Amino acid sequence: MKRTRSGGDEEAPRQNGSAGGRRGEQQPQSDGDNGGCDFGPADLPDDDNDPGLRREIRSKYRDLINSVQQNREDMLSPSNNKLTEVLEEANKLFKDVRQAREAALDAQLLVVATDLGKEKATQLFAEGNTFDPTAFAEHLLSFMGLNRLEDGEDEQPNGDVVDGYLPKDAWHRLARRAECCFRTAPSFHYMMGSFHAEPPPPKQRIERQRKAPSKEAKRIMPTQLKKMEDSQQEATEKEVERILGYLKSYYQDDPTSPISYYEFVIDPSSFSRTVENIFHTSFLIRDGLARMYLDNAKLPCIAPVEEGEVEAGGSQSRKQCIVSVSPKIWKELIDAFDITDTMIHPPNTQTE
């Protein structure tokens, strides 16, 4: 009785499906890629192409598949009729299946349901004694010498079902008894033992390789930094101070005669030195250590600011201007001012 029922669970809906005339006709088409395309318009109701309805059917199928997968264990119990209900439900849904996507879902449900049916069927096959893994485990524990009386609290503090503890040789004991079930070839061992075929761990080499580059990196980094400071900021500051020194000494030589700005910065032998001088001199102006003004002939002149005047000059409103110079202008200026020698000697020649 039971067996026939489980068989019926699997097959009945499929038979119903092919018995219905419409469904039998549609099934081969919905298997193909273009299911639903070659339906004659005459024998189809309009809702066949209604996307909302299609979606609803697919959603119901998915729910059904989900419910089978979620409740699998419950449905396996022999007294549970859920599988029949699911298949009846699917049968109802299948009435409205028109397109390949829905048919695919129907097929998927069939796979899931069949798998479940198969498992239910195997339960029924067991004649005589059924086998219960839980009971088996209990018997094994006894065989392995489980001590059920003593408290095994410190054995597995977070274990779930721990009562009693197993002796250390529990699995050895079981293995020894189970040995007779195996016709295992005894494994062969060298009388004197064998050497370990594994290569020694290449730990050291790795460490060495790692250390070497890190040392180099350390060596390089600081020297680079020093050079940067030297060449960039400090050099500029030194040069600015040096030029201020020149300016002050020329001023002190003759405080009454103004120092022409162009005569001061232009190096007739080098255009690039001229540009550098203009650049460094601009720092003096910015920091308020020197000031520029136009003389009677409207030519720019430069003079150092006296110590006491520095503060006052800082608070004055400042004017900004851009000094531009090109090699052509530079040559014209040299001719115009008749400059023969530089007033600011380049640092290396000056030291000689």
Partner 1 sequence: MTQRKRLSNTQSSTQNREEDDDTTFTQPSTSQVQRGLEKVTPAQVDQKTAEVVQYFLVKDQKKMPVRRADIVKHVVKEYRNIYPEIMKRAAHTFDQVFGLKLVEIDAKSHTYILINKLETTDGASPINSPANPKMGLLFVILSVIFMKEGVVKENVIWNTLKKLRVDPGKKHEDFGDVKKVVTDEFVRQRYLEYVRIPHTEPVEHEFRWGQRAEIEVSKARILEFMGELHGLEPQSWSQQYREAHPASNTQPGTSSQR
**Quick one: 47 or 179, whose CB is closer to partner 1?**
179
The DSSP bridge pattern shows strands 259-260 and 290-294 to be unpaired
Token pair for residue 193? 């033992």
Tell me how far apart the alpha carbons of residues 239 and 345 are, in angstroms, rounded to a whole number.
11
The CB-of-131 to partner 1 minimum distance in angstroms stands at 4
Q: Are 147 and 165 in contact (CB under 8 A)?
A: yes
Token pair for residue 219? 């060596």
Tell me how far apart the alpha carbons of residues 243 and 234 are, in angstroms, rounded to a whole number.
14
**Residue 192 sits in the site that holds partner 1 (CB under 8 A):** no
Token pair for residue 267? 């190096």
Site string for partner 1, 61-100 (x = CB under 8 A): --------x-------------------------------
The CB-of-106 to partner 1 minimum distance in angstroms stands at 13
Tell me how far apart the alpha carbons of residues 282 and 288 are, in angstroms, rounded to a whole number.
10
**Quick one: 136 or 293, whose CB is closer to partner 1?**
136
**Residue 136 sits in the site that holds partner 1 (CB under 8 A):** yes
Q: Are 30 and 97 in contact (CB under 8 A)?
A: yes
Query: Judged by CB under 8 A, which of 38, 188, 298, 308 binds partner 1?
Result: 188
| Secondary structure (DSSP) of 10-34 | HHHHHHHHHHSHHHHHHHHHHHSTT
Footprint on residues 142-171 left by partner 1 (CB under 8 A): 143-144, 156, 159-162, 166, 171
The CB-of-189 to partner 1 minimum distance in angstroms stands at 8
Tell me how far apart the alpha carbons of residues 247 and 292 are, in angstroms, rounded to a whole number.
12
The CB-of-19 to partner 1 minimum distance in angstroms stands at 27
**Consecutive H or E run containing 9:** helix 2-19
Residue 196's identity, in one-letter code, is H
**Residue 297 sits in the site that holds partner 1 (CB under 8 A):** no
Footprint on residues 112-131 left by partner 1 (CB under 8 A): 112, 115, 122, 125-129, 131
Query: Judged by CB under 8 A, which of 44, 53, 140, 206 binds partner 1?
Result: 140
Binding site residues, partner 1, CB under 8 A: 69, 108, 111-112, 115, 122, 125-129, 131, 133-141, 143-144, 156, 159-162, 166, 171-189
